[in-house]
Structure 1
Amino acid sequence: MKKYSLSLIISCVLLLFSCSDATEIEQPGRLTEAAAFETIADLQSGLLGTYGFLDTTSEIQFNAVFTDEVSIGFDNGGQGLGDGTWAFVLNNVSTAPNVFWTGFYGSLNNVNILIQAINNYEVQDGEQVDYNNILGEAYAIRAAIHHLIMSYFSPDLTDNGALAGILLDFVPTPEQQLPRNTNAEFYASIESDLTLAASLITKDQGNTFINDDFVTALRARVAAYRGDYATAAPLAQSLLASYPIANRAEYEAMFLDTDETENIFKLERTIGDNFDGQGNTGSSAAGGWAGANFAFVNATADGSPYFEMGRAVFNQLDPLDIRFDVNVAPTSTIDPDYQTSANALQTDRIIIKKYEGSENRALMNDLKVFRSSEMLFIMAEARADSGDLTGAAALIDQLRDARFGSDQVAPTYGSQQAAFAGILAERQIELAFEGHRYKDIKRLGVRAGVGVQRDAVDCSINGACSLGPDDFRFTLPIPRSEIAGNPEIANQQNPGY
């Protein structure tokens, strides 16, 4: 796989939008910013292009394979195993940090070019509302990407002085070489962008476009990741008032893309769009159908599954819980004696169903980015953080009642650690295969006393069974290509690498 430094990423993107060269020669045929964005419709098209950079399939793949969400499928021919991710091998030439770094910064540079073009655009009569919304959505996208960079590359999201990534809120020149910025600087930029977004966005175009609720959800997530629950909880609670927890039928329909009860924001996937295809199977590069992260053909036992559900997830699922039906394909073969079976790979086949497909396209489903259940978890974390263990348990019980469709026995937490462990366990099954597990262990694992813990049978292939929550690999390394090409960042590698 080719790897690129930030300066080269910027150079490549600038070639698409152009700028004057060193001698100010205007080359024939060059597409300038002014020529690319001549009308409000051009700006809208540019905005839609930036939405494509919010694809979460790479996150889904990495979070599943590096943690305890999946096991090796019976039809695996080496997919997802080649770079060592399944074995907890993570270094500055691994696929995930390189894909995330280049992808996030390519996205930032594109959205910054768009913001620059919007700010240089001369608004015509009757265009102000559309203009404001386009600019507001662009600011929100920039904030979201900066937070993704923090989530993966900052070693401690609660430490304002810790290094995050390179703050890119402007269009740099290819010659610029920039150092990493602190979390505090990232948080200030994110909040500034979200404040601008909230002041500009007035249109509600549904949950596949950024609106005020997206801004509120992102603010809640950012604050929760930061450990600022006094800010996070009220934001989360305000969204739960508008997006109630789905009942069993609604929950099942949500993952067939036919119900929107819990969806605050999602990335729509449809036949013929840029994501309609298999993508990079077994790779953090991913792309394409989300379900192709786990199977080649479809979400059945005959669909060539190369990853199956890990027993660490399955053993927590109750058949009476609707999440069992959503996540476990009915063609699965469940071996109750899998721990002593001589050939568990063949006798115990738990097929992942969550992305079985929609619109008659197997493995293609909308990508859920913000759901109301995440907001409920943020509120539960806030209560646990404040010592209200009974209140945290009540919220988890509320979710379980909805998923079982009947009153369940509320959990009892005897300590803060037990409460965070309970919340983390519930997040593991509620948000399974949605791109959260790695980040959840990173930010909650130490408080919960929980790391990656694969079932002994699942990890018998290589002995990579557990990883403590304080392990340095819960922060991605700065890619070697960036270290080599940017002297400003050469001495700013993350600990352990």
Structure 2
Amino acid sequence: MKKIYKLICACMILSVVSCNDAIEIDQPGRLGAENAFRSVSDLKGGLLGAYNFLDVTPEMGFTAAFTDESFRGRDNGGQNLNVQNFNLNSGDGYVFQIWANNYGAIGMANRIIEAAQSIDRSEDPSLYDHVLGQAYAIRAYSHFQILTYFSTDYADDNALAGLLLTQPTEDIFASVPRSTNGAFYDQITADLNTAAGLINGTDADTTGFTFMGQDFITALRARMAAYRGQYATADALAASLLASYPIANQAQFFNMYDDADFTEVIFSLERARGDSYDGQGTAGGGWAGSLFAFIDPTAGGGPFMEISRSTYNIMDGTSDIRLPRAVNLAESTIDAGYATNDNFLNDDVLIVWKYPGFNAQPLMNDLKVFRSAEMLLIRAEAAADANQLTTAANFIDQLRDARFGSDQPTLVFSNQAEAFGGILDERRLEFLFEGHRWVDLKRLGSRGNRAIDRDAKECSLLSGCTLPANDYRFTLPIPLAEITANTGIQQNPQY
């Protein structure tokens, strides 16, 4: 894939060999799978290396800064200035990280899949299948992430996605063109089918909601179908998961972000002390909380990005449990007159508290990738798409009742646009700082008459207040490093 991918490949076998070993072999930048993987236990080590590449903090940080989720904090020293001003280009750090992380995971998964062909399965058949199945699932998920952020139109099979990589032995100096969404969807579906036939849950070390099992596969299928507008399929898949993953009550929801309750967690990326993400070396560093603060989620912890006023104002004065989970109310300074206060950056401090930290490590929490709340709102989308407006409203009401802790008035929609608008409004609060808002506006903004919604006071310090959902910046540019090295790749429009 060129320079980015070559650097990733050089250090890819994290759990098996050192990078020094990799650069001493005959073919620069690559270690033959036959040397790195010689047993089923080696495959398992490689699988953990593949999981190590999975990190959604770049998606979360970009979404929070680019949309209406966050605004510069009191201790901001220029962080996210370009993204907040809608200045998005191929040299952006978030763009590079999203691209590199996912292709790193794809590359590692490919090496595991290739190596498995030369390993004796009879050594441990169940573990062999279980590990191999997860490698296919990782490859499917990461390809879908690439499509999600770099394709112009999820529902158009002819639109370009990214580089479809299924072989680790491809010439890393070759010019590789982008493949279409249709080709991506076909490969993702094939990989998920293979994964579903192999994953068996027999290995305790690689089983549970922090590993990709059968429910992860169902959740990814449901999300992909919803993004494509294939709502009959999405609805059935989402409904099947809701039978096993109930919507959390207020206490459970609050504790979920302290990693103390997992009632509605379908799949989460684990973060722990001593792992490779135990630090803030890059934006987020794998720690979601460090996307918003330097030290900890307190007034003295260096809040450089805060919850936006437009989002806070929606929840203020309600019993919605999502407000105290989103904002450290005890440490925040809330200025009721911020709209006329020219010093509001110092006087109105709304500290993000969704990721306070765990196990005595501030700012480090698991990253929730799939939750049952998403499945419920996918069902609402499916109902709205079928013009079943009352049903859509009832699904939203079910979630609101849980988050408010009491029966809430059911919304009434007179047309599909109102229904999709209501769904987007609910998703805005439910998935705050979880990396959904940019994607949601891109795929549903036009249907729901919604766009980026920033507060007027905050807009006074920015070059733009909103963007329509069809703006070209709702597709990321191919990273500059890839464009420079890969003459066969096509840049997205207007970049």
TM-score bin (small chain): over 0.9
Aligned partner of 1:143 among 126, 135, 140 = 140
SS of alignment partner, residue 333 of structure 1: coil
Give, as a single letter, the amino acid of the residue that structure 1 aligns with 2:403.
R
**How far apart, in 1, do the equivalents of 2:107 and 2:272 lie?**
27
CA contact (8 A) 1:71 1:459 kept: no
Deviation of 1:37 (Å) = 1.1
- Aligned residues, how many? 476
**How far apart, in 2, do the equivalents of 1:13 and 1:121 lie?**
24
Residue 186 (structure 1) aligns with: 184
**How far apart, in 1, do the equivalents of 2:473 and 2:226 lie?**
21
1:448-479 Cα offsets, whole Å, 9 max, x none, are 11111211111221232111111010001122
1:162-209 Cα offsets, whole Å, 9 max, x none, are 111111111212232211111110000000000000011111621111
Residue 129 (structure 1) aligns with: 126
CA contact (8 A) 2:51 2:105 kept: no
Q: Write out aligned runs for 1:78-477 (5 A).
A: 78-81=78-81, 84-125=82-123, 127-171=124-168, 172-203=170-201, 205-280=207-282, 283=283, 286-318=284-316, 319-329=318-328, 330-477=330-477
1:374-396 Cα offsets, whole Å, 9 max, x none, are 00011000001110111111000
Deviation of 1:328 (Å) = 1.2
CA contact (8 A) 2:5 2:100 kept: no
Give, as a single letter, the amino acid of the residue that structure 1 aligns with 2:76.
N
**How far apart, in 1, do the equivalents of 2:367 and 2:219 lie?**
16
CA contact (8 A) 2:12 2:49 kept: no
Q: TM-score, normalised by structure 1?
A: 0.92
SS of alignment partner, residue 370 of structure 2: strand
**Which runs of no fewer than 5 residues in structure 2 stay unpaired?**
14-24
1:321-351 Cα offsets, whole Å, 9 max, x none, are 1111111102112222211123211221111
With over 3 angstroms needed to count, the CA separation of the structure-2 counterparts of 1:12 and 1:342, relative to structure 1, is closer
**How far apart, in 1, do the equivalents of 2:71 and 2:173 lie?**
45
**How far apart, in 2, do the equivalents of 1:233 and 1:485 lie?**
42
CA contact (8 A) 1:33 1:117 kept: yes
CA contact (8 A) 2:271 2:286 kept: no
Q: TM-score, normalised by structure 2?
A: 0.93
SS of alignment partner, residue 277 of structure 1: coil
Identity of aligned residues (%): 50
Deviation of 1:268 (Å) = 1.3
Deviation of 1:103 (Å) = 2.6
SS of alignment partner, residue 108 of structure 1: helix
- Which range moved further: 326-335 or 236-245? 326-335
With over 3 angstroms needed to count, the CA separation of the structure-2 counterparts of 1:17 and 1:48, relative to structure 1, is closer
SS of alignment partner, residue 315 of structure 2: coil
Deviation of 1:14 (Å) = 4.4
**How far apart, in 2, do the equivalents of 1:10 and 1:241 lie?**
41
With over 3 angstroms needed to count, the CA separation of the structure-2 counterparts of 1:14 and 1:273, relative to structure 1, is closer
Give, as a single letter, the amino acid of the residue that structure 1 aligns with 2:454.
R
Give, as a single letter, the amino acid of the residue that structure 1 aligns with 2:257.
F
Aligned partner of 1:11 among 6, 16, 29 = 6
Deviation of 1:80 (Å) = 2.1
Give, as a single letter, the amino acid of the residue that structure 2 aligns with 1:91.
N
1:258-299 Cα offsets, whole Å, 9 max, x none, are 11100001111111111111232xx4xx32321010001111
Give, as a single letter, the amino acid of the residue that structure 2 aligns with 1:207.
F
**How far apart, in 2, do the equivalents of 1:26 and 1:277 lie?**
34
Residue 22 (structure 1) aligns with: none
SS of alignment partner, residue 231 of structure 1: helix
Give, as a single letter, the amino acid of the residue that structure 1 aligns with 2:113.
I
Deviation of 1:72 (Å) = 0.9
With over 3 angstroms needed to count, the CA separation of the structure-2 counterparts of 1:273 and 1:325, relative to structure 1, is same
1:349-404 Cα offsets, whole Å, 9 max, x none, are 11111001111211111110100000001100000111011111100000000011
**How far apart, in 1, do the equivalents of 2:12 and 2:263 lie?**
40
Deviation of 1:26 (Å) = 5.6
**How far apart, in 2, do the equivalents of 1:375 and 1:469 lie?**
23
Q: Write out aligned runs for 1:53-92 (5 A).
A: 53-81=53-81, 84-92=82-90
